[in-house]
Amino acid sequence: MISALRTPEDTRWYRVAAGALVLFAWVVLAAWGASPFAPLLSHRELAEGGLTAFRLAVFAAGWLLMTIAMMLPGSLPLVNLFRALMAGRADRATLTPYLLLGYLSVWTAFGIAAFAGDAGLHAGVERNPALAALDGWFGVLVLAAAGVYQVTPLKEMCLEKCRSPYSFLVEHWRGRRARYDAVRLGMRHGLYCLGCCWTLMLVMFGIGGVNLGWMLGLGAVMLLERTSRWGRRLTAPVGLALIVCALGLVYRVPFLVAAFGGD
């Protein structure tokens, strides 16, 4: 059904515009991470100075790029299908950007909330010696929680929504107020993607800064879970691997300590 709805124009847009956007995000993140300004992508360094508008804006920009690089590829089947379904409308060229606006706003809001919570946690650790003693366990908790969440019914329900873009569009698209409905559709899809992957993105957040190895690994996992036919077979092994990583952090495995030890 999806392939039947794809037009030559839509295929060109899918391959060129969408691919260029994702590639641009990866290139900017790689260049930023290799530059002297790399600490500006780390929530650890940004949070040490307290929660300010500048620090929040810088982090939000980096988080948005990370979302485009890691999360958007798994949503392109829905974006492509949406554009194909809108092919007969006069306003079709403006609706896809509104869809993306809604989708990315959900992930940006999540990143800002995570940053604000992390800044509050750092402030609490500085004021409370008891919390400071638990500082080394935060990475363990993030990894363990991500591992357990992999096998929850909520995760599976959200994955099913993401794996069925045609059914999702039929269920949620109205089109009476086209731009508003496109933003709302993007936000709904973003919320289901958030339900699929929020703990894995917290793992990425917990690492702090840009680590292309972790980004590629976690991005590939989320893409396969949400789009491949055998993605459901991947969730439990990934959950087990995350729990093993949590145990490895407890026993001070060097590469895990290097990634999470500063949290």
Domain spans in the chain, listed from the N-terminal domain onward: 2-260
CA neighbor of 218 nearest in space, from 187, 241, 195: 241
Output the pLDDT for position 5: 46
Contact criterion met (CB below 8 Å) for 215 and 151: no
Instruction: Give the position of tokens 């391959």.
Output: 15
Output the pLDDT for position 4: 43
Output the pLDDT for position 178: 87
Output the pLDDT for position 3: 45
CA distances for 97 relative to 11, 36, 83, 192, angstroms: 17, 33, 10, 19
Q: Write the burial class of residue 64 (CB in 10 Å: 0-12 exposed, 13-18 middle, 19+ buried).
A: middle
- pLDDT under 50: residue ranges of the chain: 1-6, 263
Output the pLDDT for position 60: 86
Tell me the residue type at 225.
E
Angle between helices 92-127 and 72-85 (to 10 degrees): 150
